[in-house]
Amino acid sequence: MQIDACAGDDGIRTTASACFDADCRRCPRLVEYRRETRRMHPDYFSAPVPAFGASDPRLLIVGLAPGLHGANRTGRPFTGDYAGILLYESLHGLGLASQARSDSARDALTLRGVRITNAVKCVPPGNRPTPLEARQCLDFLRAELATLESVRVIFALGRIAHDAVLAAYALKRPAHVFAHGAEHALPHDRWLVDSYHCSRYNTQTRRLTTGMFCDALGRAATLAGLVPARP
């Protein structure tokens, strides 16, 4: 079952308000930026972007925030922007996505055992949320992690997502240092796997190659029991 809001393993959205607020106004700067982008682009979604994927995921992918002309436009994480190209192609290559590209929230894409969310639900100016804005959104991520009991592995795209997961578990950063491919044991028999964000900047500067990303994602999927371990 594919969902676009928080749900338990049975898919019932009884706790959706704790995991997501479609009209959240906690961050004045982000609320105003949403209004501004809606004025400039009336056909854009320009609202907090809900999670997308399986209702009983074993792998939870946590991104930074909606891209201005990606998820903020389409209303679905990593849909319609450059970062989503590498992510969905890689998921498709692992047999975890029904198609290799996602341009619209109305397409037929489904995910197997995977759910995608963001540490910050609203598009931030310059793709840079402030520390306060990240903290304001933490309650939603914490509720997602608590509600989705099937999750075995969290795949953090970038340091902000990594830090948000640690904060949700009240874990200290010095004991869990972000690094591409790093693996961290979490409470409740879960694992956190880190990756550089699959942004245009990181891939064009070769800080992150396709091989690097596929290796890290493949390792996360293996830990989650979604793909077999390589011989």
What is the Cα–Cα distance from 44 to 72, expressed in whole angstroms?
7
| CATH number of the domain bearing residue 111 | 3.40.470.10
177-186 confidence digits (pLDDT tens): 999 999 999 9
pLDDT in tens, 26-69: 999 999 999 999 999 999 999 999 999 999 999 999 999 999 99
* Domain of 86, in residue numbers: 2-223
Q: What is the pTM of this model?
A: 0.92
Specify whether the CB–CB gap between 43 and 49 falls below 8 A.
no
Element (H, E) at 117: strand 114-118
The rounded percent of the chain whose pLDDT value lies above 70 is: 92
pLDDT of residue 230: 72
Domain count, the chain: 1
Whether residue 219 lies inside any domain: the answer is yes
Residue 231 included in any domain: no
> What dihedral do alpha carbons 110, 111, 112, 115 form, nearest 10°?
-140
Would 118 be classed as within a structural domain?
Answer: yes
Query: What is residue 75's predicted lDDT score, i.e. its pLDDT?
Result: 97
Tell me: the pLDDT tens digits for 93-136?
999 999 999 989 999 999 999 999 999 999 999 989 999 999 99
Contacts of 193 (CB under 8 A, 6+ apart): 153, 154, 155, 156, 181, 182, 183, 184, 216, 219, 220, 223
Residue 4: pLDDT band with limits 50, 70, 90: very low
Tell me the per-residue pLDDT of 155-194, one tens digit each, with 9 for 90 and over: 999 999 999 999 999 999 999 999 999 999 999 999 999 9
Mean pLDDT, the chain, rounded, equals 92
Domain membership of residue 212 (yes or no) is yes
- Given a contact cutoff of 8 angstroms between Cβ atoms, the answer to whether 11 and 55 are in contact is yes
Q: Is pLDDT above 60 for 90?
A: yes
Helices 159-168 and 138-147 meet at what angle, rounded to 10?
Answer: 70
Q: Looking at the domain assignment, is residue 126 inside a domain?
A: yes
Angle CA 162–147–161, to nearest 5: 10
Residue 230 placed within a domain? no
Examine residue 229 and state whether it is found in any structural domain, yes or no. Answer: no
- pLDDT at 1 exceeding the cut of 60: no
Query: In this structure, is residue 27 part of a structural domain?
Result: yes
Residue 16: pLDDT over 70: no
